[in-house]
Amino acid sequence: MPRMSGAQILLECLRQEGVEYIFGYPGGAVLPIYDALYDFRDIKHILVRHEQGAAHMADGYARATGKVGVCLATSGPAATNLVTGIATAQMDSIPMVALTGQVRTTNIGKDAFQETDAIGITMPITKHNYLLKRTEDIPRVIAEAFYIARSGRPGPVLVDIPLDVSLGKIEWDPSQYEKDPDIPSYRPTYKGHEMQIRKAAQAIREAKRPILYVGGGAVQSGAQEEVTELSERTNILVTTTLMGKGAIDETHPNSLGMLGMHGTAYANYAVHNCDLLIAVGARFDDRVTGKLDQFAKYAKVIHIDIDPAEIGKVVHCDIPIVGDVKTVLRELLKYVEPRPATEWNRQIMEWKRKFPLVYPKDGQMHAEFVIDEIWRVTEGNAIITTGVGQHQMWAAQYYKVKRPRQFITSGGLGTMGYGLPAAIGVQLALPNETVVCIDGDGSFQMTVQELMTAVVYELPVIVAIINNRSLGMVRQWQELFWSERYSEVDLQASPDFVKLADAYGAIGMRVTEPEDVEPAMREAMSQRKKPVIIDFVVPTEENVYPMIPSGQSIEQMMLRKDLEQLRATVDTDGEEWSFADQEQILRQFVEQPARQ
């Protein structure tokens, strides 16, 4: 048996787990690991500029591929720099293994140089974490970490590795490495309960106004085919959450786009009026539900989720099904009979015509127009990453994705600065794809240093900055809910993004006229060796609509004020329409019998 150091054993374990990339940054407590990496050929290390970037890259890589992303940082400040990235992965259930160095076991608890309690700090933001105490535990712990990260409801796992553990040498036979070990106290449920699935099929058969509400769980389990088949067979229309984008092709006639705070009016009307809500891998986030006692208040609820704790956490559930979304839908499809499109479908389609997602095509370069153009020029095929804010919501509304893992965004945690590093992780995983980070001028500046990483590794990510020279989403809230008291949202003072790109060795462009969006995008897409920053200068005082204010119900949904005029530009059937129709939509089904 070869005699190996802990660091060598660690890398061998990672190799056997199929790790292609480690996103990391060296330091004292991980020096043995970096020394072992020096001549380890099977794994490529990506040197980032800040550990937060490493975590987001590992996360982006994981979201794009479904594989476990790996990041590596030293102890102390490096471990704390990973925290935002780990929390981001945790909130969106992303499989990730974060490796941190730690001071020697004999120094733990002594306030040693660069010591932090990485385990204690990350306990609430990981699926699980480990402090390694002995070199011989490395193979078991790494195998468990990867298995836990990718199985069941995925999530980040942190392994904290003291210096003496990675230095220590033991006899170890790499062929003994055992992937997917059995952990008796951890056995996720994949197969749904058959009785419950039959009940769900019956509820679908009996429902008059059913809606599919599909979340990130469907993306994670790769259930696009099943969601689409269920929707097509039953003519039940589909609305997705931000994380669920791509669970059905958004250009499919059965797709209603996103629901919730900035969801489409028609998706929200459909959910409001439905009598059966089929929640598929979704967790009833407050940005989806708004005021809970008003959310889908006439509906019976079927909830399919791999995590039993999600069922009944937020809303009452009538038919719970614990299991993997894809597996459960496969079973469900055995019992679900074809069902014709009904008056309900016609009704929703009418709402879709009456309350479309529109923006003015008035010669101004609106943010929505830029995103619409990016969608058109990339033929809806680009992989999109985003920061957080108005640009993120506009991207979610206007970039209609075709497939799962195509829209990569920090949904649960809402991490500004996620977009660029995530795009780097995605581009490394999928070198032939067009990767566009639709970013905000605020978000971009939070992790801008990773531009260097993209340049060094010759990654042609396109960063489309929707530059409104403002922290737009906060500005919007201050305009609408805080009496236009614009407190600290002005970002007029920002670097010249074109010069900044140049300084980093990337390509920079500025676009101020609508007709220049397409040529700029085409030029950016022709670059296959360098990142491109496009500074799209858009108006400052624009809001994301529709909007259901936080904690309120659909009754308070705000539509854009010019919707009536704009609608005429997209719908020419001449049908009379006015805002007054909203009232009727909300009352229309009230008289219908609600579930007991």
Partner 1 sequence: MAGNAQNGREHQHTITALVQNHPGVLARVAGLFARRGYNIESLAVSVTENPDISRMTIVARGDDRVLEQITKQLNKLIEVIRVVDYVEHSAIERELALIKVNAEPKNRSEILQLAEVFRGRVIDVSEKTFLIELTGGPEKIDAFARLMAPYGIREMARTGVIAMARGTKTA
- Tell me which residues touch partner 1 (CB under 8 A): 119-120, 123-124, 127-128, 131, 148, 183-186, 277, 292-293, 295-301, 307-309, 312-316, 594-595
Nearer to partner 1, 56 or 153 (CB): 153
Nearer to partner 1, 249 or 275 (CB): 275
Task: Report in angstroms how near the CB of residue 71 gets to partner 1 at its nearest.
Answer: 20
**Helix, strand, or coil (residue 510):** strand
User: Taking a C-beta distance cutoff of 8 angstroms, is the pair 264, 254 a contact?
Assistant: no
Closest CA to 230 of 242, 238, 241, 221: 238
Give, in degrees to the nearest 5, the angle at Cα 10 between 9 and 11.
Answer: 95
**CA pair distance 221, 281, nearest whole angstrom:** 9
The β-bridge relationship of strands 383-386 and 435-440 is parallel
Nearer to partner 1, 119 or 422 (CB): 119
Task: Report in angstroms how near the CB of residue 506 gets to partner 1 at its nearest.
Answer: 41
Task: Report in angstroms how near the CB of residue 341 gets to partner 1 at its nearest.
Answer: 24
User: H or E element: which one contains 146?
Assistant: helix 138-150
Nearer to partner 1, 40 or 589 (CB): 589
**CA pair distance 385, 435, nearest whole angstrom:** 8
Nearer to partner 1, 297 or 469 (CB): 297
Give, in degrees to the nearest 5, the angle at Cα 415 between 414 and 421.
Answer: 135
Q: Which residue's structure tokens are 């609820």?
A: 301
Point out which residues pair with 21 in neighbouring strands: 44
Nearer to partner 1, 122 or 386 (CB): 122
- CA 312, distance to chain mean position in Å, is 23
Q: How many Å is the maximal CA-CA distance in the chain?
A: 82
**CA pair distance 75, 469, nearest whole angstrom:** 37
Nearer to partner 1, 309 or 341 (CB): 309
Task: Give pairs for 33-38: CB < 8 Å, separation 24+.
Answer: 33/7, 33/72, 33/99, 33/101, 33/161, 33/166, 35/7, 36/5, 36/7, 36/8, 36/10, 36/11, 37/11
User: Taking a C-beta distance cutoff of 8 angstroms, is the pair 560, 545 a contact?
Assistant: yes
Task: Report in angstroms how near the CB of residue 16 gets to partner 1 at its nearest.
Answer: 21
Nearer to partner 1, 20 or 117 (CB): 117
User: Taking a C-beta distance cutoff of 8 angstroms, is the pair 360, 225 a contact?
Assistant: no
Query: Burial of 195 by CB count in 10 Å (0-12 exposed, 13-18 middle, 19+ buried)?
Result: exposed
Task: Report in angstroms how near the CB of residue 278 gets to partner 1 at its nearest.
Answer: 12
Task: Report in angstroms how near the CB of residue 22 gets to partner 1 at its nearest.
Answer: 24
Nearer to partner 1, 78 or 274 (CB): 274
Task: Report in angstroms how near the CB of residue 215 gets to partner 1 at its nearest.
Answer: 15
Task: Report in angstroms how near the CB of residue 585 gets to partner 1 at its nearest.
Answer: 18
**Residues contacting 6, CB < 8 A, separation 6+:** 32, 132, 135, 138, 161, 165, 166, 167, 168, 169, 170
Task: Report in angstroms how near the CB of residue 297 gets to partner 1 at its nearest.
Answer: 6
Nearer to partner 1, 314 or 349 (CB): 314
Task: Report in angstroms how near the CB of residue 108 gets to partner 1 at its nearest.
Answer: 11
Nearer to partner 1, 133 or 339 (CB): 133
3-state SS string for 222-259: CCHHHHHHHHHHHCCCEEECCCCCCCCCCCCCCEEEEC
Q: Which residue's structure tokens are 């959450």?
A: 241
Closest CA to 249 of 426, 356, 406, 370: 406
**Helix, strand, or coil (residue 577):** coil
Task: Report in angstroms how near the CB of residue 318 gets to partner 1 at its nearest.
Answer: 8
One-letter identity of residue 580: A
**Helix, strand, or coil (residue 342):** coil
Task: Report in angstroms how near the CB of residue 317 gets to partner 1 at its nearest.
Answer: 8
**Helix, strand, or coil (residue 269):** helix
Nearer to partner 1, 315 or 429 (CB): 315
Task: Report in angstroms how near the CB of residue 241 gets to partner 1 at its nearest.
Answer: 15
Nearer to partner 1, 130 or 407 (CB): 130
